[in-house]
Structure 1
Amino acid sequence: MDKSTEELIKKRIIGIFPKLATDKNFKLTSPINPNYNCLAWACHYNDRWMQPPSITPPPLDSVVYWPEDAKQGMEIECLIDAFRTKGYELCDSWEYEDKYQKVALYVKKDSKTWTHAARELRNGFWTSKLGQGYDIQHGTPFTIEGDSYGEVYCIMKRIF
């Protein structure tokens, strides 16, 4: 992708997530790929759509995945339960800790339904899959808070 196209795409993304405008670590890290979503990306998958099977089918011919022992639903507790099956536990800090991997789970304000998950990278930055679109890197889990994804509800971590 040429530089001008990339800048145009970044400008559009900033229009949706205005806090990224001041995030010096914001960058595009992949082309559009509708085969996986933010939950799958947070769990290190890029070949499936992670959601409870009872929710509206994903786009195209995506494979639907949900941990078999996790509660199903859109309530944030169900998403926390799904990440617990992957070894994550609630923690108090979003900041980088050596030997731990963290995820941030998002909810809309005044709601208890989940909207998004972001994953911490080994360099301490964060990564998000934006719907069916691009993967991005951002400096903190808070720079994508806003009208689209709401706010960080909790941080979870697991040992690498």
Structure 2
Amino acid sequence: MGKDIEKLKRLIINYFPRLAHDKNFQITSPQTPNYNCIAWAYNYNDRWMWPAPCATEALDGVCYWPDDVTKTPDVDSFIEAFRKKGYEICDNAEFDERLQKIALYVKPGTRECTHAARQLRNSFWTSKLGKGNDIQHGTPYTIEGNNYGIVYCIMSRAF
């Protein structure tokens, strides 16, 4: 099993090169198509969460999206969805034991949301990689790059 995990870590680092220097990077779950990064950041692990259309064959193309929230890939729709859970935009990604934080990512030069990560109570961050594994990383910035783009904003809510 150890060799398989190391091989998988190298594969993930190929997609997210900054993880090679992140001493907190680790794989924290087996692969599963049952949820995506937005649902994971929203604290769900039993559904895909995306504003339509949803193209996940694992769940017959059904996606959850909060009622009364605009269904577009624009980052404002994602901000609105997280506000439904009590999050508000904040000014930093620093750990505060009183707050749960999330990061929303966009393609550079656009407002198209691509990913969300959530800060854990141990100060590290967690991301769900598509239909793959969950990972832990030290900051939201270590997964920026060609795949998920850049951090657009940090949002927080009281625990």
User: TM-score by structure 1 length?
Assistant: 0.96
For residue 55 of structure 2, what is the amino acid of its counterpart? P
- Is 1:34 aligned with 2:33? yes
For residue 10 of structure 2, what is the amino acid of its counterpart? K
C-alpha deviation, 1:60, in angstroms: 1.5
Unmatched segments (≥5 aa) in structure 1: none
Of the structure 1 ranges 59-68 and 93-102, higher mean CA displacement relative to structure 2 is found in: 59-68
- Is 1:129 aligned with 2:128? yes
Specify the alignment match of 1:94 in structure 2.
93
Is the CA contact 2:54–2:63 (under 8 Å) kept in the aligned structure 1?
no
For residue 96 of structure 1, what is the amino acid of its counterpart? F
After superposition, the CA RMSD in angstroms is: 0.9
Question: Distance between the aligned counterparts of 1:12 and 1:127, measured in 2?
Answer: 18
**How many pairs does the alignment contain?**
158
Is the CA contact 1:119–1:126 (under 8 Å) kept in the aligned structure 2?
yes
Specify the alignment match of 1:23 in structure 2.
22
Give me the identity figure in percent.
56
Question: Distance between the aligned counterparts of 2:63 and 2:11, measured in 1?
Answer: 29
C-alpha deviation, 1:56, in angstroms: 3.2
Is the CA contact 1:34–1:59 (under 8 Å) kept in the aligned structure 2?
no
Unmatched segments (≥5 aa) in structure 2: none
Question: Distance between the aligned counterparts of 1:56 and 1:33, measured in 2?
Answer: 17
Specify the alignment match of 1:59 in structure 2.
57
SS at match of 1:154: strand
For residue 95 of structure 1, what is the amino acid of its counterpart? E
- Is 1:149 aligned with 2:148? yes
Specify the alignment match of 1:50 in structure 2.
49
Is the CA contact 1:69–1:85 (under 8 Å) kept in the aligned structure 2?
no
Of the structure 1 ranges 81-90 and 59-68, higher mean CA displacement relative to structure 2 is found in: 59-68
For residue 120 of structure 2, what is the amino acid of its counterpart? L
C-alpha deviation, 1:61, in angstroms: 2.1
C-alpha deviation, 1:78, in angstroms: 0.5
For residue 59 of structure 1, what is the amino acid of its counterpart? E
SS at match of 1:146: coil
For residue 145 of structure 1, what is the amino acid of its counterpart? E
Question: Distance between the aligned counterparts of 1:48 and 1:146, measured in 2?
Answer: 26
Listed one character per residue, the Cα deviations across residues 22-58 of structure 1 (whole Å, up to 9, x for unaligned) are 0000000000000100000001110000011x31332
Specify the alignment match of 1:84 in structure 2.
83
User: TM-score by structure 2 length?
Assistant: 0.97
Question: Distance between the aligned counterparts of 2:46 and 2:54, measured in 1?
Answer: 18
